[in-house]
Structure 1
Amino acid sequence: MRKHAFTLRSRAHSRRVRIICIMAAFAAIFTGIFLRLVQFGMEQEASHGISITYDRAPGGRPAIVDRNGELLATDIPIASLFIEPRSIPDLDEAVEKLTGIFPELDARELHSRLRSKDAFTWIKRQITPDKQQAVIDSGLAAIGFRPENRRLYPNGSLAAHILGAVDIDNRGIAGIEKWIDANWLADLRGAGLELKGRELQRIELSIDLRVQYALEQELGKAITKFGAAAGAGLLLDVTNGEVLALASYPDFDPNNPENAFKPDRINRVTAGVFEMGSTFKALTTAMALESGRFNLESVVDASKPLNFGRMRIHDYRGKYRPLTIPEAFVHSSNIVMAKMALALGPEASRTFLGRFGALSPLATELPESAAPLLPSSWSEVATATVSFGHGIAVTPLQASTAVAALANGGRLIRPTFIKDSPVSERTIAEDLVSSDTSEAIRHLLRLNTAVGSATRANVPGYAIGGKTGTAEKVVGGRYSRELNVTSFMGIVPADNPRYLLLTLLDEPRGLPETYGNRTSGWNAVPFGGAVFQRILPMLVAPTFPPPAGTVQAVPAATEEPGSRGTAAARTWLLRPR
């Protein structure tokens, strides 16, 4: 009996032990499941972007500043939203919530992508912090945030054609941004180095943000006032080739670069080609003087138009009499320019222009550039028309660089947008003209602003020299009498130039105040004068004539400025009014 009772107690004990073991096993299993769920929840929370380490954001770029250290472009940390389609518990709910937060998303397209059961797909790149918080608050599962860099241009469209733009992956696609990638940043990334922007040396541009703002503002005013289709402007340091400002309109906002590649948004200074009209006469006159066959006292007969078969070359409001070289320059005589070029011959003309870089593309840091359009054959007709800026189309930067070489004593310098870029490495040619020819061209430019077509560019206290240009546009293979391009090139100070200003208007209209005239002296020149008025006090100290009663050197009555170009006349002309 006792043995049977012991057996029963032993069996009961064994059952209790087995039950306890089973319960412990289940407890361990459920504890493991619980811990795994907690871990999974923590991973999901991290992927939801509640805590983002932005220092891990790839694709950093160096900051860009102007010559005075003013910020032009920088990186900012930002998040991009992705989702794991195969882990979405409720597809319809996910689509509804996401399109509610991002109305620009197409619900049908999004539903199709999320139904694919892929491991990863982007929902929205570079979202704003408020949108990120809205996604977090929505409680959506299977989402995550990737830290990235977004390029910020704090000045909006200011200097857009210089800065360029980047794509969604923060890679340069235009302007200086593209140059940075092509020059060295792409190589770093190719080597696997994804540095943060603050670890990279900033890029210092040659532009002056103050001058850039003034140029763009005055360009906008001129476009509006004269109803022009487009326009451009440039300020170039003729002593070292640094570009202090470049403007082209229409422009774009690099913060929203989708407009950067529209055909009408090209950089007209470096990527547009134009017949520059009478601004080319400075080159033709320099060629004639440098040849030794002409001087400032030479007289050329402009009494009759030049005939080439059915083609005639005549002067716009010409004097139709013999003209001295200064008179021909001031009155912008096509006839005289053509006769001088023809006297030297087609080969001499082509060679001279080639030495000044007018016949080949001009390379700068900006990738946007255009090759000149040249005559199909350098015939006598082509030689004659090229002499006054027709039949050849170049970029405004090319033309400005050539005139800058005339003004600085004959040194052709490749322009740059980088501050303190070594001049010696960018010097293309030296001594292209003699010091006497360079002085004569400066004198003629000053003469033209004193008594010629560029008087509206004058600013009290500054000796400004300049040349106007008006060219008819080619429409359907023929020159239009209704549409033209006007330009102005001004140098300051005229006796020892430091800066060259270019202004250009495409298809300006005549106004009642211009008496219906559409030529450069009525629009591009006052536009240039307004720019000079604003920027010169920042760049050049003014000088003024001596007080009344002070003895001054003035030309004799027989030495009328422009008639013979004597030394006394040059002294008188180069003095600011």
Structure 2
Amino acid sequence: MIIRRKAAPAIVPGIDLPPDPSPPARPGLVRVEGTAKTALETGRNRLAFAGGVFLLLFLSVAVRLVDVAFHPNADQVARAVPQPELPMKTVRADITDRNGMLLATNLPTVNLYADARIVREPEKVARDLKEILPEIDVARTVERLKSGQAFVYLHRHLTPAQQFAVNRLGVPALGFEDGELRVYPQGGLFAHVVGKTDIDNRGISGIEKRFDDQLKDGQAVRLSVDLRVQTAVMRVLQDSIATFKAEGAAAVVQDVRTGEVISLVSLPDFDPNRPETMTDDAMFNRATLGVYEMGSVFKVFNTAIALESGKIQISSRYDTSPLKIANYTIHDLHSLKGPASVPEILINSSNIGSARMALEFGGEFQHAYLDRFGLTRASELEIPEVGSPQVPSGNWSNITVATVSFGHGISVSPLQVATGASAVVNGGVFRPATLLAHAPGDAAPGVRAVSERTSLMMRRLMRMVVTEGSGRKADVPGYRVAGKTGTAEKVVNGRYSKHQVLSSFLGVFPADNPRYTVLVTLDAPKGIPSTYNFATAGWNAAPTAGKVIAAIAPMLGVEPAADPFQQADPKSGPLMVAAMKGN
């Protein structure tokens, strides 16, 4: 039977459609018909297909993981290339000054390495790396890439830009290791104190070497030095080298109460951040490693020993005519023309008077007290660069006793002179020099070197050297500087040179209540018109020390005041006057 369907009425614009005979739709349902329905069915089919594909992939990966875990292929395991073990990263601790200012710290970096076992085209890789890292040597890099080793360094301390560029090469055999770069924020300012590390961040000089294990264990080191003081001392020394055309210079500032070294400068110096500055001369520490005949600054020790001996009084007088011992004759630069008292001998720096005093108390007593002042043994300072003094051996002859009294025939470091002088003026107690900061009131107990009375007398005598003698140019109004000049002929080719000297000034301030010693040394300064072509210490080292004290005293909290030694003193003032007059 053929059933004919009634055709739907045609839609003609302008003609109303008859009502739809279909039953009304239920509320909330949308009926989709025609093209929309077809599209919806297609989307459902595709989604179902994609879900099936992902399910199959997931199942295959899961099956493979189980297979690898429980049924490994022996051949594949044998051919697998193990990843190289990277060195353990170390964290080296900081070094700071006494106020917490950074002197040495680390910056995070990366190091480039290669697994040479899987490198392809080593020559090409080396050339490509050269474009990014101009410092590398292509031939050496190729050699490393062909070494067959699992881990070879190619370059250290890459910048972020360099690391990005190497990554872009897409070489699987190249990798990066986290590293650290030791940096010194103050440049060369503390080079001879802090020292430096090598490429593997191991200490090779200075504090870095002495406390290498502690720093590698992450324990910071706080030093006694003061960044402000060091900067001021450095600038003054640099100016003096330029002014007096000296070959070098050194300076030490030390707390007389604790032995702490507040500043230690040696010039020329080097910048540990820049290897090209590290010449032999620049790396030589003139303040601690160099030992020199220090000249007349030794008369401070000689005079203290004389007063301590009990044989010599402040009023004792000595003949100052030329002194002949064996085949040697000792002269003075400026003759005193007659007997001189102990103050006059020190103020006028008489070699003859000093020698006669030393001969009176004798070589054995002299040697014992020089040892008390730390001048016959190496300093205990906490850096490796410490020189051993050159001290005459055996029983000292008369000529040895005489020349040692004015700083010849014995060689010590500037640091030793500063430390020994601290014992002379601080009340008579020797404390070893240290570069480690002490807590307030935590100084080492020290060892008695001379009596308090001798110490007081020496402070007064040294003050007179500055007010009346060769140390006048070291005086700083208000800071009561005491001290002693010293000019020693340098030994050149085994002989003393008349044209090259080591010029020094040993200073103490304030003289009435000592806080700090200052030792300044200029190596081979030249005479200039403003010094009337003299190169002796009174003309160069003394004014240099005066400038140092004027700059650092306010930083160290030393307040200017009137000089009590210039006022009447019923205990020792008349005694000094009487000694000067020969009464």
**TM-score in terms of structure 2 length:** 0.80
Q: Structure 2 CA distance, aligned partners of 1:422 and 1:380?
A: 45
Greater Rg by CA: 2
Q: Structure 2 CA distance, aligned partners of 1:290 and 1:150?
A: 54
Output the amino acid matched with 1:372: P
Give the CA deviation at 1:101. 1.5
Per-residue CA distance 1:222-248 (angstroms, 9 max, x = gap): 111111111101110000111111000
Structure 2 counterpart of 1:529: 546
Q: Secondary structure at the match of 1:145?
A: strand
**TM-score in terms of structure 1 length:** 0.81
RMSD: 2.9
Q: Structure 2 CA distance, aligned partners of 1:312 and 1:540?
A: 47
Q: Structure 2 CA distance, aligned partners of 1:526 and 1:134?
A: 56
Q: How does 1:48-59 map to 2 (within 5 A)?
A: 58-59=89-90
Structure 1 counterpart of 2:315: 297
Q: Secondary structure at the match of 1:564?
A: helix
Structure 2 counterpart of 1:372: 389
Per-residue CA distance 1:512-563 (angstroms, 9 max, x = gap): 11111111111111111111111111113433449xxxxx95599xx89965
Match among 347, 369, 374 for residue 352 of structure 1 = 369
Q: Structure 2 CA distance, aligned partners of 1:348 and 1:376?
A: 15
Output the amino acid matched with 2:539: W
Structure 2 counterpart of 1:4: none
Q: Structure 2 CA distance, aligned partners of 1:129 and 1:318?
A: 71
Q: Structure 1 CA distance, aligned partners of 2:419 and 2:201?
A: 33
Gap runs ≥5 in structure 1? 1-23, 37-46, 48-52, 189-199, 547-551, 567-577
Aligned-pair identity (%): 42
Q: 2:316–2:579: 8 Å Cα contact kept in structure 1?
A: no
Match among 331, 353, 361 for residue 336 of structure 1 = 353
Q: How does 1:416-565 map to 2 (within 5 A)?
A: 416-420=434-438, 426-430=444-448, 432-545=449-562, 553=567, 563-564=577-578
Per-residue CA distance 1:246-297 (angstroms, 9 max, x = gap): 0001111122357557254221111110111111101100111111222222
Q: Secondary structure at the match of 1:518?
A: coil
Q: Secondary structure at the match of 1:77?
A: strand
Q: Structure 2 CA distance, aligned partners of 1:180 and 1:362?
A: 17
Give the CA deviation at 1:510. 0.9
Gap runs ≥5 in structure 2? 1-55, 69-82
Q: 1:67–1:205: 8 Å Cα contact kept in structure 2?
A: yes
Q: Structure 2 CA distance, aligned partners of 1:264 and 1:307?
A: 42
Output the amino acid matched with 1:322: P
Give the CA deviation at 1:314. 0.6
Is residue 73 of structure 1 aligned with residue 87 of structure 2? no
Q: Which segment drifts farther, 352-361 or 229-238?
A: 352-361
Is residue 146 of structure 1 aligned with residue 160 of structure 2? no
Is residue 101 of structure 1 aligned with residue 118 of structure 2? no
Give the CA deviation at 1:301. 1.0
Detail structure 1 runs of 4+ shifted over 6 Å in the superposition: 421-425, 559-562
Distance change in 2, residues 1:372/1:424 (3 Å): farther
Distance change in 2, residues 1:372/1:460 (3 Å): same
Structure 1 counterpart of 2:245: 227
Match among 249, 266, 271 for residue 267 of structure 2 = 249
Structure 1 counterpart of 2:409: 391
Output the amino acid matched with 1:167: D
Distance change in 2, residues 1:553/1:526 (3 Å): closer
Q: Which segment drifts farther, 108-117 or 171-180?
A: 108-117
Structure 2 counterpart of 1:14: none
Q: 2:115–2:152: 8 Å Cα contact kept in structure 1?
A: yes
Q: Structure 2 CA distance, aligned partners of 1:489 and 1:515?
A: 23
Q: Structure 2 CA distance, aligned partners of 1:308 and 1:478?
A: 20
Q: Secondary structure at the match of 1:336?
A: helix
Structure 1 counterpart of 2:225: 207
Q: Number of residues paired by the alignment? A: 501
Give the CA deviation at 1:131. 2.0
